[in-house]
Structure 1
Amino acid sequence: MTKGKYTQKQISILKRAVSRDWYMMINHGAVRAGKTKLNNVLFLMELLRVKKNAALDGVDKPMYILGAVSSGTLQTNILREITNDYGHEFKFDRHGNFTLFDVYVVTTFTGSIVGLRAIRGMTAYGAYINEASLANKEVFDEIKKRCSGRGARIICDTNPDHPKHWLKVDYIDKADGETIVSNHFTIFDNNFLGKGYVDNLIATTPSGMFTERGIYGRWVIGEGAVYRDFSEDCYLLAEKVPTDDIVAYFAGVDWGYDHHGAIVICGKTADGRVYLLEEVARQYQEIDFWVEVAKDMKQRYPRLKFWADSARPEHVARFQREGLNCHNADKSVLSGIEQVAKLMKQNCFFVVADKVTKFKDEIYQYVWNEKSGMPQKHDDDVLDALRYAIYSQVAVRDWLI
């Protein structure tokens, strides 16, 4: 390792990691702060240490757990980065595991309870858990139980979540600097990021919770309104919509009955502006009503794609049978809210004022739940449909279809 390759914060933690013993090290905080890069090198160092410890037990090929939320995050956050930085190539066996430094690394996906299958019954000499706050708690606990080999240690990295999250309450808050070591990162700890990049990141990160977590790495709840950057300046008249600039039309669908069902239509320009063009929100309407609404919209907006709540697959199937270009929405709540909020923060979100009604009420009543750290589940029908539309369209990078 050379000093030029690591930040001062990373070097300090690496020195701490090799100079004194510990059981669990949790590196947590802001995005792009260097947490995962640090843990990747700690992972390689731990494998070398594991091999020596296992030899004392007469174990020729010790096992180690590598946990990630999904196969995608395992590749992008860890394996590909290690290959790029250190040149290690990974050859997987039929179980999706690999051997490195003569240690058998068992991969498991922590995002659901299914992750238990890969690790039950094994004796591990350590573990590396990426994005630990997103891990299923039962899987996390099982990983901890499996780490019973001589000198086994666990390293974790994570972005912050709400302050009552089990990882913070049960581990970070109990860090004593000896058994559990907790290292907090802010965006400013990564001195390799250019000032322009950091300034732009701060300027485009939505206010409130997203800034507190993403920039300063704090475990906070979102207080008050979810969309704090929304202002009346977002409203405009229909004739002010630059229809010639719109390159894609797409809709969000939130099914309802006792509560309002809603369909919203959005248009996006090539330079990233999004216009909420209209909403239809009704209670006590059957699927036939929504089919007629959607068909009318299809006639008025070219190449219209519908992103619908997957909770009612029979309704999605009905839309498809009716010749509507309808797909299951990506319903990721916080990621979707952040995407919508970014547009508001960047002054890239506009609403045709005389084409929406319920939106005007919901935007100010959509607030955070202090206990769960998620939005309150009321007055959110149109805003859910809007989130489905915008985030799903962005997530698939499919603006022009």
Structure 2
Amino acid sequence: MSFTWGRFSQKQLDSIRNSTARLNFWEGAVRSGKTIASIVRWLDYIATGPSGDLLMVGKTERTLKRNILDVMEQILGPRLYRYNKGEGEVYVCGRKIYVAGANDERAEGKIRGMTLAGAYGDEVTLWPENFFKMLLSRLSVSGAKFFGTTNPDSPYHWLKVEYLDKTDLDLRSWHFVLEDNPNLDQAYVEALKREYTGLWYKRFILGLWVMAEGAIYDMWDDTLNTFTDADIPPGLKMVARRYISVDYGTQNATVFLDCLDDGDTLWIVNEYYHSGREQGRQKEDAEYADDLLNFAGPERPRFVIADPSAASFKIALRRRGLMVRDAENDVLEGIRMTATMIAKRKLRVNRDRCPHLVKEIAGYVWDAKAAERGEEKPLKQNDHAVDAMRYLVATVVNKYRLHSA
């Protein structure tokens, strides 16, 4: 697939020409033109920068390939681009570049001992801080530079506090908003805006560095996002796909959510909730598996969506003839997708049959102390039903549904 060049905005051109500091960052809204500008600059640096080893990093090697390497391949073509996945390296215009993922604290060991003449980073706010610091210490060739992209995060994030906000570093940054990309179709922009809500709208559409605070699902409406048995559309069960989503606990509560998906709206029609602590009795895997069969009734779900870590419970389900799929478990992305479905009123819950889920949604909040440390996560209390809801959305909803009106 060949690459089609579009127009460049003045900000993009300025960032390409003047990203001459030791540290150079493109940050801001999604689809705002920051990535293609950074890639053009990086390709120029590969050709004109000092000799020595080069490195490219993403949250994972897979996301780096999807977001950056595939674009480079389309620009350059097979004669000038070759990716060796198994070797962790890519050749660009004959020059070898190492590639790596920075998905957890242990990742810094991948680059320890390197001597680098340059590095490119994708989604830098998703990296562990110790990895970034190690990378900077490896940029020891004379004239070495770093080029990185990121979406906004918390104003307390280490990247903003320790680097972007500092005035005494050899650092340049450019802040991008949607208007900085002159190639976006207006219909696409409107569809993109519909995909994000609340915190994510502020960050990914407006390009703001804002805190995650207060209620996570503040767009929830007790009327528009709930229903009763009498509200279920006639014939829904005949046309909808059925899933059961599970948050499994040993000491903590175990939750099953029964869902009907008509391709437009997710209808959570029933819940099962058992807390060993509250009810004074723990259950074994086999008991929970039998409970799920009884909960499902004679008509089996298309598949059961289960917490990836619940290995023994998944075995018990499969022994009973149930299809089981691991839930997509990127917490923040799952919350974002769930928030969008709630805001679009495409996620509805039976308020009579799902009392624990309705109660948890109202009390599901961001961890304020974690936010002050620049971390982003929900407060871990009374969150088992909402976790099962997040698993459901993240596993069965695609981007098209998030874009649609």
Question: Do the two structures share a fold, i.e. TM-score over 0.5?
Answer: yes
Measure, in 2, the Cα distance between the counterparts of 1:193 and 1:153.
Answer: 30
- Residue 308 of structure 1 corresponds to 306
- Any residues of structure 2 matched to 1:384-399 within 5 Å, and which? 384-394=387-397
Shift of 1:82: 1.7
Post-superposition CA distance 1:133-187 (Å, at most 9, x none): 11232322222111111200001101122222221221112155x7111221222
Measure, in 2, the Cα distance between the counterparts of 1:293 and 1:237.
Answer: 24
Question: Are the structure 2 counterparts of residues 31 and 99 from structure 1 closer, same or farther at C-alpha, using a change threshold of 3 Å?
Answer: same
Measure, in 1, the Cα distance between the counterparts of 2:141 and 2:273.
Answer: 58
Measure, in 2, the Cα distance between the counterparts of 1:238 and 1:327.
Answer: 28
Q: Is 1:29–1:158's contact at 8 Å kept on the other side of the alignment?
A: yes
- Residue 59 of structure 1 corresponds to none
Letter in 2 for 1:338: R
Post-superposition CA distance 1:110-148 (Å, at most 9, x none): 223554454332211010011111123232222211111
Shift of 1:223: 2.4
- Residue 378 of structure 1 corresponds to 381
Letter in 1 for 2:283: E
> Which of 236, 252, 266 is the aligned partner of 2:259?
266
Percentage of identical aligned residues: 27
Q: Is 1:65–1:124's contact at 8 Å kept on the other side of the alignment?
A: yes
5+ residue gaps, structure 1, are 55-61
The number of residue pairs the alignment matches comes to: 381
Shift of 1:212: 0.9
- Residue 357 of structure 1 corresponds to 355
Measure, in 1, the Cα distance between the counterparts of 2:211 and 2:100.
Answer: 30
Letter in 2 for 1:7: S
> Which of 163, 178, 193 is the aligned partner of 1:187?
178
- Any residues of structure 2 matched to 1:69-88 within 5 Å, and which? 69-87=59-77
- Any residues of structure 2 matched to 1:103-182 within 5 Å, and which? 103-113=95-105, 115-116=107-108, 118-175=110-167, 179-182=170-173
Post-superposition CA distance 1:191-227 (Å, at most 9, x none): 22122222232234222x1111111122222222111
Question: Are the structure 2 counterparts of residues 45 and 245 from structure 1 closer, same or farther at C-alpha, using a change threshold of 3 Å?
Answer: farther
Measure, in 2, the Cα distance between the counterparts of 1:170 and 1:115.
Answer: 20
> Which of 225, 234, 247 is the aligned partner of 1:234?
225
Question: What SS does structure 2 have at the residue aligned with 1:127?
Answer: strand
Q: Does structure 1 residue 40 correspond to structure 2 residue 39? A: yes
Question: Are the structure 2 counterparts of residues 300 and 172 from structure 1 closer, same or farther at C-alpha, using a change threshold of 3 Å?
Answer: farther
Question: Are the structure 2 counterparts of residues 105 and 238 from structure 1 closer, same or farther at C-alpha, using a change threshold of 3 Å?
Answer: same
Q: Is 1:68–1:108's contact at 8 Å kept on the other side of the alignment?
A: yes
RMSD: 2.4
Give the TM-score taking structure 1 as reference length. Answer: 0.88
Measure, in 2, the Cα distance between the counterparts of 1:6 and 1:370.
Answer: 40
Q: Is 2:26–2:174's contact at 8 Å kept on the other side of the alignment?
A: yes
Question: Are the structure 2 counterparts of residues 12 and 363 from structure 1 closer, same or farther at C-alpha, using a change threshold of 3 Å?
Answer: same
Q: Does structure 1 residue 216 correspond to structure 2 residue 219? A: no
Q: Is 2:307–2:326's contact at 8 Å kept on the other side of the alignment?
A: yes
Question: Are the structure 2 counterparts of residues 371 and 173 from structure 1 closer, same or farther at C-alpha, using a change threshold of 3 Å?
Answer: farther
Measure, in 1, the Cα distance between the counterparts of 2:345 and 2:353.
Answer: 20
- 4+ long deviations beyond 6 Å: none
Letter in 2 for 1:201: L
Measure, in 2, the Cα distance between the counterparts of 1:334 and 1:300.
Answer: 35
Measure, in 2, the Cα distance between the counterparts of 1:280 and 1:267.
Answer: 15
Q: Is 1:23–1:152's contact at 8 Å kept on the other side of the alignment?
A: yes
Give the TM-score taking structure 2 as reference length. Answer: 0.87
Q: Is 1:65–1:143's contact at 8 Å kept on the other side of the alignment?
A: no
Measure, in 1, the Cα distance between the counterparts of 2:274 and 2:237.
Answer: 31
Shift of 1:100: 2.5
